[in-house]
A and B are shown apart, each in its own frame.
Chain A
Amino acid sequence: MAQIRKDKDRETPALATSSLPDIIFMFLFFFMAVTTMKEVTFKVRVSPPMATEVTKLENKSLTRYVYVGKPMDQYKKAFGSETRIQLGDAFADVNELEEFIVSERSAMNENDQNLMTVSIKADKDTKMGVINDIKQSLRRAYALKIVYSANKRTAL
């Protein structure tokens, strides 16, 4: 005789968590693949300009970055709200740029020194006066390969 059992103490089985590590590992590998190590902590706010004809940077290890933009809010008190330059992890003046490039280059392998690229990561509202100063001191430092960092955009 068929009988419908009414089990009072039937419980929903516990959620199987054995595949959780696999899922997390998948996430982990995804992030390892699509992200890169942070170069520095930003002290200036940079939202790069847009361009359509951008190319990918070839060798990241030979690239040095110059950040240009307005200081982040927490630095505004100490450094004002005017456009500033950041080299490595610190604020810097235009005059220090030449020295910075020269010392960075001498730290490199001799074969790689001519391949050094300087990437100018500047905010899109920066005035060209600052950029010109940077370009002039890069020229003096013989760092002639430069990249204007810009994000991809599809149309004008």
Chain B
Amino acid sequence: MGKKKRKTSEINSSSMADIAFLLLIFFLVTTSMGSTTGLSRRLPPPLPKDQVVPPVDINKRNLFIVKVNSQNQLMVQGELMDIRGLREKAKEFIKNDANQDNLPVKTLVDIPLIGPMEITKDHVISLQNDVDTQYQVYIDVQNELVAAYNELRNELSREKFGKIYDDLDEEQQKAVQTAYPQKISEAEPKNYGGVK
């Protein structure tokens, strides 16, 4: 009798907000906004200790030297240069459109998916810096060089596949990479251009 009407009372949910707040604050404290972007590089393997460095046999026209001194000034191929001109200069060097004598040697390579293409296979960009060079400037230079490669790759991708490089599939990306291999050498540190 009368028992049918009895209900279980509802769970009191007024403390739900407090619990949620607690969790929120916990996550606010223990996490940080992730800024995990950066420039990927590959270092050359270490030199054996007791071995004399063999003189590098690179044709001079294949070499693109960028030097940064302690005053953060840039010297590109022997002349003082502003960082804004570096990208164009690097692109001109890597591409060697007009097949000039002072720019890297071009070789005909048959690349899958793209076909035969003359590429500057053996070019090397050498980046040298002083001990006192500011890190931001070094990154700027790296950035410009990578940008030069990226622009060239994008141009080629658009021409051959009608898409930008990032939208290509893996094999196409590989083909474009073969056409424009990224060759930035991080030289052994040297101390020059400084007064110290």
Chain A residues with a Cβ under 8 A of chain B: 17-18, 20-21, 24-25, 27-28, 31-32, 34-38, 48-57, 60, 63, 117, 119, 122-129, 131-132, 135-136, 138-140, 142-152, 156
Could you say which residues of chain A place their CB within 8 Å of the CB of B40? 55, 117, 145-147
**Contacts A129-B131, A131-B135 known; A21 to B13 CB distance under 8 Å?**
yes
Secondary structure at chain A's binding surface: helix, strand, loop or mixed? Answer: mixed
User: Which B-chain residue is minimally distant from A24 (CB atoms)?
Assistant: B20
Interface size of B by Cβ–Cβ distance < 8 Å?
50
Could you say which residues of chain B place their CB within 8 Å of the CB of A54? 37-39
Tell me the B131-154 residues at the A interface (CB within 8 Å): 131-136, 138-140, 142-144, 146-147, 150
Besides A144-B42, A144-B44, 10 new A-B residue pairs in contact (Cβ under 8 A), listed by A number:
A24-B20, A31-B31, A37-B32, A38-B31, A49-B139, A51-B39, A119-B38, A148-B38, A156-B83, A156-B140
Bound together, the chains give a CA A31 to CA B21 distance in angstroms of 12
User: Which A-chain residue is minimally distant from B44 (CB atoms)?
Assistant: A139
B17 touches A152 (CB 8 A): no
B135 touches A53 (CB 8 A): no
Mask, B18-62, CB within 8 Å of A = 1, is: 011101100110111111111111111110000000000000000
Bound together, the chains give a CA A150 to CA B32 distance in angstroms of 16
A148 touches B39 (CB 8 A): yes
User: Which B-chain residue is minimally distant from A20 (CB atoms)?
Assistant: B17
A36 touches B13 (CB 8 A): no
